[in-house]
Chains A and B, each alone.
Chain A
Amino acid sequence: MKVIVDQDRCVGAGQCVLAAPEVFDQRDSDGIVVLLTEDVPAGSEEDVREAARICPALAIELSEP
């Protein structure tokens, strides 16, 4: 599974960081989402799907193999 984030849409609510901290982080300068990895580590798929589902700005896209 791959993740794509849209930093222009992101509103820095931090939901993704709480749902899947191994994949998402926030940029120090403005709190906007940054990816720690584009490839979702095995075992984190459900957390990442949850992050995409709860992102209030619809800024997370997943491509499932």
Chain B
Amino acid sequence: MTETLPGVPAFPMTRGRCPFDPPPELARIQHDEPVTRVELWDGSTPWVVTRYDDVRALLADPRFSADSDLPGYPHVTEGRAARSGVTKSFITMDGAAHAAQRRLLTPDFMVKKMEALRPKIQGIVDGLIDEMLAGPKPADLVQAFALPLPSLVICELLGVPYADRALFHRISKTLISRTSTAAESLAATKELLDYFGELTERKLTEPGDDVLSKLAAEQLATGRMTRHEIAGMGQVLLVAGHETTANMIALGTVALLENPSQLAEMRAAGERGDAKLLANAVEELLRYLNIAHSGRRRVALEDVEVGGQLIRRGEGVIAANDMANRDDSAFPDADVLDIHRKARHHVAFGYGVHQCLGQPLARVELQVAYGTLYHRIPTLALAKPLGELRFKDDMAVYGVHELPVTW
């Protein structure tokens, strides 16, 4: 353990008794000193910004850079710091370079395309539930349902063989673990970049109707992008494309099982096909659970005042979107899960130009998953007490490691 400076709290912080709430210390900071310094693993002391309005203003402000190679950028783990510079994609780029790379991908994730996938996603969901019901109980909902669904879908979209899932699930785990060493993180990213590099080259001669084939033909073959750049993009899309949704499905199920009246409403909404309530509930669960719980990281390019605090050029900033989503001024009674609440202005997908590219896909997956699972298995229940579940405090994407369920 690193020693903390007197009065400067360590970040990331430890959660309290409720596994769905952000750390109590972060809540205290939001209340008492909403922009304050925290200490990271390496002894650096970036700012953390915790109020909704401040988080939105900061993330929309081009005077803050997302470039993780810049000095002062707050790397929240040793593993992340080690990977910086080795791999670069639009998520750590600014301005025109970011826009150009992101726009290569925006058509592949746009709303109408994702809506067109809905029947296919429904088919996958139905099939996975059939298989689980035919198997032994208790079952692990993570392995039987939550993880395969988004993995299958993102594989199909990108053109990654699903048969390779053991490889990328293992690597993803290392990449998002908060406890990976620099060496482990570097080895993992190198392995995945090599994998994507080879796969992209293969797409030149054996193209499919998928994102990697498009990038191979339009970017690699024309020399606009290198194999390494496309691999970096592929890595981000694959990891972000399955870890997040998988954890939302599993953790959302835990949260609903703990809120039986809302679970009953979800079950009924699924049964009568109430798309509007299901969509609303997805936004609320995204807000309430905020599984990307390490904040959005930036570095100031000039002196900027945020929430009354002057942040100097070159200083790192962590926009705590999990805490912003619990700001009572934006969401009255923010600590209450309420699937009828208007929550679409949440910042669970971030905010500003880096807001999640794959959010239309995540929404359809979650709407179909939540809208099917509970009415197909009306007696769904935890097979272990809540207190015995292993929550992912050790990962950059929060959730549960396993979710033993019965019915």
Contact = CB atoms under 8 A, between A and B. Distances in A.
B106 A12 contact: yes
Interface string B75-110: 000000000000000000000000100110011111
Nearest to A58: B60
Interface string B293-337: 000000000000000000000000000000000000000000000
B112 A26 contact: yes
24 contacts: A11-B106, A11-B354, A12-B106, A12-B107, A14-B111, A15-B355, A18-B111, A18-B344, A25-B112, A26-B110, A26-B111, A27-B107, A30-B107, A31-B107, A31-B109, A32-B106, A50-B345, A54-B345, A56-B60, A56-B350, A56-B351, A56-B355, A57-B352, A58-B60
A13 B107 contact: no
Interface string A15-28: 10111000001111
A29 interface: yes
B360 interface: yes
A26 to B, nearest CB: 4
Most buried by B among A18, A25, A31, A32: A31
Nearest to A57: B353
A11 B110 contact: no
A32 B107 CA distance: 8
A2 interface: no
Contact of B110 (A31, A53, A54): A31
Contacts of B112: 17, 25-26
A30 B214 CA distance: 13
Given A18-B360, A31-B103, A31-B108, 11 more contacts: A11-B102, A11-B106, A11-B354, A14-B110, A15-B359, A17-B111, A18-B344, A31-B110, A53-B345, A54-B345, A57-B60
Nearest to B351: A56
A11 B353 contact: yes
B344 A54 contact: yes
Contacts of A50: 344-345
Contact of B103 (A30, A54, A56): A30
A29 B353 CA distance: 19
Interface residues of B, number: 27
B15 to A, nearest CB: 27
A15 B355 CA distance: 10
B287 to A, nearest CB: 12
A27 B112 CA distance: 10
A28 B344 contact: no
B356 interface: yes
Contacts of A18: 111, 279, 344, 360, 363
Nearest to A24: B111
Contacts of A19: 344
Nearest to B350: A56
Contacts of A32: 103, 106
Interface in B4-62: 59-60
Contacts of A26: 106-107, 110-112
